[in-house]
Amino acid sequence: MGQLELNMSSESDFGNEVDLSTVLEHMRSFGASRFVAKRLSPNDNSKNQIYLGSAINVIPNNGIRVESVGGKRPRHIADVEFAWVTSSGVLSPAPHAKLILYPKYPEVRLSGFLLGSQHAPGFLAGRAERRILILGLSDTGKVFGHAAGEGSTISNFFWREGFEPSKALFDVLDPEGNSKSVLISKLRDLHRHGWTEGKSLKSTGLVPCNSSQCIGYTLEAELGVPRNSLKLPDYKGWELKAHTVREFAKPVTSSPISLFTPEPDGGLYHEEGFDRFMRRYGYPDVKGRPGRINYGGIYKNGVPGTKTGATLFIEGFDQQSRKITDLDGKVGLEAGDGNLIMSWSFKHILNSWMKKHEQAAYVPAISKSESGVRHYWYGPDVRLGEGTNFRRFLIALSEGAVYLDPAHKHVTDGDLVDTHRRTQWRIKSSDIPSLYEKVTTVSVS
């Protein structure tokens, strides 16, 4: 079979006596910082693939692509940089590992995890009972796997009487502390610290930050998260969302929270360029600043925008049944003249939303300015959102909870042109629960 030959590991590669802490230490040495596990059913094997719930937003991957083979219906596939880690710490890459998405259900399955891997756990080709899969996730997008069979020390631990995971893919309690407890501890320290100056963490170190976005950058910097544009969660699998409040006694307000900022991948904006789009559809600056045109407003599904009259629509999703009807659907913005001026394919939104938001911490903060310098005090009551999927996002978007709130500008000064693009999608703080299976408020004080 050449490079597609399925290699069967020896018994010692995934020994029965190796303990969980040893496996996690091996994975940590390769860069893993978060650990999740799946109790495998007989149907979880190389033929039927391994069911992972809606874990496209958990497992790091190289982005979603559409593939159609042999006349079959198109599939959404995301390649994974995956390697097995044996009991002795040997790394064995699995070059054909990938995630297969079924957004209509929604669910994700892991496929190709045995092909071409020198030390793959061969028993995952069968239908044995009481097996366990452990995955180590790194901040660089790499995934490390270890499997344990029935009767092993690790299997006995995860299949012990009285232990029932709350979801298909669950966090492993790392001896160093699970991701939620570590995050809560960090947020507790930050709250107790009190006021902190605005800052951001760049590759060169900490730098002052004094713009309106600094509430988020400061939170990330305090937790050691560098400023970057990676479509990965900020801290140990958790996306960090800071938002301003007037007082800690009211951490949930009607104020909007920015969710993400994916640029359009269709429409006039994408096809003819930002400059032409702004010159055709932008409007004069409301403050009368010379040479400046803007494009903003609130755009909810089916409702003409507040400033331009353009209307947001969803194609490929039935609002009444709350079901995806076309995997090649899109979200679009249609101008008053009937032109499609912006659009986002479902694939594009999936890549942006699902990689970052499976777990999110919504952190309130009070802001003040002293001598022109912004300061923040992060609050004692943090909301933790857990478990989302693409269908939940589309439901919230179709019902107007999630909306488009762009803030584009185009400034001409003689021969010089200055532009600013900000395609932000927002939600009111009070509507956050619509996006998640579970939202809990945790006191970190």
Dig out the tokens for 397 from the structure: 């978007």
Dig out the tokens for 23 from the structure: 């496996």
Distance CA 58, CA 354 (A): 8
Q: Which of 314, 283, 281 is nearest to 300 (CA)?
A: 314
Q: Are 363 and 444 in contact (CB under 8 A)?
A: no
Q: Is 311 helix (H, G, I), strand (E, B) or coil?
A: strand
Distance CA 293, CA 286 (A): 9
Question: Domains in the chain and their CATH numbers?
Answer: 2-176 (2.40.330), 180-443 (3.30.70.3570)
Which helix (H) or strand (E) covers residue 99, if one does? strand 98-102
Please report, for residues 175, 183, 214, 355, the alpha-carbon distance to residue 239 in angstroms, rounded to integers and kept in the order given.
Answer: 22, 11, 16, 10
In this prediction, residue 192 carries a pLDDT of: 95
Strands ordered across the beta sheet of 256-260: 256-260, 425-428, 402-404
Distance CA 271, CA 281 (A): 14
Which helix (H) or strand (E) covers residue 410, if one does? strand 408-413
Terminal-to-terminal C-alpha distance of the chain: 59
In this prediction, residue 4 carries a pLDDT of: 39
Q: Are 56 and 99 in contact (CB under 8 A)?
A: yes
Total residues belonging to the chain? 445
Distance CA 197, CA 214 (A): 10
Dig out the tokens for 310 from the structure: 């353009």
Crossing angle of the two packed helices 179-193 and 214-222, in degrees rounded to 10: 110
In this prediction, residue 133 carries a pLDDT of: 96
In this prediction, residue 394 carries a pLDDT of: 94
In this prediction, residue 166 carries a pLDDT of: 73
In this prediction, residue 279 carries a pLDDT of: 94
Paired residues of 30 in beta bridges: none
Dig out the tokens for 383 from the structure: 């909301």
Please report, for residues 209, 213, 372, the alpha-carbon distance to residue 197 in angstroms, rounded to integers and kept in the order given.
Answer: 8, 13, 11
Unique residue bearing structure tokens 């956050």: 432
Q: Are 248 and 233 in contact (CB under 8 A)?
A: no
Q: Which of 43, 9, 4, 45 is nearest to 121 (CA)?
A: 9
Q: Which of 240, 204, 238, 248 is nearest to 222 (CA)?
A: 240
The pLDDT tens digits along the chain (445 residues) read 333 344 455 445 777 888 898 999 999 999 998 889 999 999 998 888 999 886 666 788 888 887 776 556 667 888 999 999 999 999 999 999 999 987 666 788 999 999 999 999 999 999 999 999 999 998 788 999 999 999 999 999 999 988 888 778 888 865 444 678 889 999 999 999 999 999 999 888 899 999 878 999 999 999 988 876 555 557 777 889 999 999 998 888 777 899 989 999 999 999 999 999 999 999 999 888 999 999 999 999 999 998 999 999 999 999 999 988 887 899 999 999 999 999 999 888 887 876 667 789 999 999 999 888 999 999 999 999 988 888 889 999 999 999 999 999 999 988 899 999 999 999 999 999 999 988 999 999 8
DSSP string, 238-307: BEEEEEE-S-TT----S-EEEEE-PPPSBSHHHHH-HHHHHHHH-EE-TT--TTEEEE---BBBTBB-TT
Dig out the tokens for 170 from the structure: 């669950």
In this prediction, residue 5 carries a pLDDT of: 42
Q: Are 403 and 312 in contact (CB under 8 A)?
A: yes
Burial of 363 (0-12, 13-18, 19+ CB in 10 A): buried
In this prediction, residue 56 carries a pLDDT of: 64
Paired residues of 398 in beta bridges: none
Q: Which amino acid is at 277?
A: F
Burial of 371 (0-12, 13-18, 19+ CB in 10 A): exposed
Dig out the tokens for 358 from the structure: 């499976």
Q: Are 260 and 404 in contact (CB under 8 A)?
A: no
Unique residue bearing structure tokens 């009487």: 161
Distance CA 296, CA 307 (A): 7
